[in-house]
Amino acid sequence: MDRDLSKTVKKACVTGGAGFIGSQVVRNLLARDIDVVVIDNLSVGRRENVPAAATLVEADILDSAVMDDIAGCDAVFHLAARVAIRSSFEFVVEDTTANVVGTANVLRGATRADSRVRKFILASSMAVYADSPQPTPISEDYTLQPVSPYGVSKLAAEMLVRQMCDQSGIDSAVLRLFNTYGRGQALSPYVGVATIFANAMREGRAPSIFGDGEQRRDFIHVEDVAQGFINAMLHPTEGKVFNIGSGQALTVNQVYSAIAQALNFDQPPVYAEAVPGELRNSIADNSRARQTIEFNPKHVFADTIAGVLEGVGGS
């Protein structure tokens, strides 16, 4: 099978395409004159996030009725998922159903006999890795030992993608996303620390930091993440896994200080007990993505956070 899709993808499906990252992927696809079908149940995503040029199918990925929409596309970007590490202990059944069974259903549509799908790209997570004892970048070969049910569900989804796409001759890629930030991120008590901090500060409240705040994270701008998905479509990936991160470490305390400075907020954070399931150190070695799919993140957190915060607050 010809796996060079750079000029042959005419139609793409984006599950979760009304969400924070998915909608940016949709815009990038449309900019390449690719027809886009968005499948989203709008439980988190918003209708207004979907560009008018895209076709929105309001449906759940567990619904077998979406099979035709998936099978009729040249490429599938699977981003629909329940995304929350802390809450995944409480909602383990719901998360596993959406992230594992949902992925299996999307794959069933992509691999059926009359499908035209030739590329399948999964949004996975840094949560599949074991904790790192040192604040150094980890490669895709680092120990896979999730410390949360969410991480377990994403690792299972990865394995399904690899097995089913290999068997069906579909070129696949798994993108393990690190801490994504940017304008338009929905407020949630579980994900998007920059958005959580900024909203609290705008309301005059000191945000909580769980643990001592010295845990280190890799913050990657949503536009760089979306470009990673496009690049994974354009290059042969042969089932490989890619870290999508900046490769740079920031402590949560540093993130707090940067946002507080940008918003002229002068209160210290409220430190709370550390919660289970969160990694101490999570920093991407992105060299494989740089070499294989020409991933080249352009945004630096310190230089872009002020611009991001212009769009935060009140929603």
Which tens digits make up the pLDDT trace of 1-15?
Answer: 444 565 689 999 999
**Quick check: pTM over 0.85?**
yes
Task: Indicate if 150 belongs to the active site.
Answer: yes
267: CB partners within 8 A, 6+ apart: 201, 206, 260
Do the strands 216-217 and 250-251 form a parallel or antiparallel pair, or are they unpaired? antiparallel
Find the catalytic residue in 150, 181, 256, 271: 150
What does pLDDT average to over the chain? Answer: 91
User: Residue 122 corresponds to which tokens in the numbers above?
Assistant: 């999964």
Q: Would you kindly state where each structural domain of the chain is located, as residue ranges?
A: 11-180+220-246+284-297
Please return the burial class of 113, using the count of CB atoms within 10 Å of its CB with bins 0-12, 13-18 and 19+: exposed
313's torsion region: left (phi>0), alpha (psi -120 to 50) or beta? left
The pLDDT tens digits of the residues spanning 179-209 come to 998 887 664 444 578 888 988 999 999 999 9
Give 83's pLDDT tier (boundaries 50, 70, 90). Answer: confident
Q: What percent of the chain has pLDDT over 90?
A: 79
Per DSSP, helices labelled H in the chain are 20-31, 67-71, 92-96, 102-111, 149-168, 193-202, 222-234, 252-262, 287-292, 301-309
How many beta carbons lie within 10 A of that of residue 294, not counting itself? 12
Considering the four listed CATH numbers 3.40.50.280, 3.40.50.2000, 3.40.50.720, 3.40.228.10, the one that applies to the domain covering 11-180+220-246+284-297 is: 3.40.50.720
Q: Which of 93-97, 226-230, 305-309 has the lowest mean pLDDT?
A: 305-309
Q: Are strands 55-58 and 11-15 parallel, antiparallel or unpaired?
A: unpaired
Instruction: Report the distance separating Cα 68 and Cα 81, nearest Å.
Output: 20
What pLDDT is recorded for position 58? 97
At 114-170, the pLDDT tens digits run 999 999 999 999 999 999 989 999 999 999 999 899 999 999 999 999 999 999 999
**Selection from 12, 20, 15 nearest residue 188 by Cα:** 20
CB-based contacts of 48, cutoff 8 Å, min separation 6: none
pLDDT digits (tens, 9 = 90+) for 57-66: 999 999 988 9
Lowest mean pLDDT: which of 93-107, 128-142, 247-261, 297-311? 297-311
